[in-house]
Amino acid sequence: MEKLKIVANTRNKDTITRTIRMSGKTYDRITAVAEKNNISFNSVVNQIIEYGLKNLDS
């Protein structure tokens, strides 16, 4: 399986606003990744979701 690589330019104009809940630990980890890569929290979350869906055994 290919490793997830966080990239800076992943803007998409086709967006939907949703509210999700996550653990504080997960929030802290995603925030740290966003800060390290100088990108938004939202961009990291979307990249993680896309990676997971791409690599999902269905």
Q: Looking at the domain assignment, is residue 36 inside a domain?
A: yes
Query: Cα-Cα-Cα-Cα dihedral of 9, 15, 16, 17, to 10°?
Result: 40
Q: How confident is the prediction along the chain (58 residues), in pLDDT tens digits per residue?
A: 789 988 887 677 788 999 999 999 999 999 999 999 999 999 999 999 999 999 998 7
Q: What is the pTM of this model?
A: 0.83
44 is a domain residue:
yes
Contacts of residue 18, Cβ cutoff 8 Å, sequence gap at least 6: none
pLDDT in the model for residue 35:
97
The number of distinct structural domains making up the chain is 1
37 is a domain residue: yes
Domain extent, residue 38, equals 24-54
Strand residues in 3-56 grouped as ranges (E): none
Residue 31 resides in a domain: yes
Q: Is 43 a member of any domain?
A: yes
Domain for residue 11, yes or no?
Answer: no
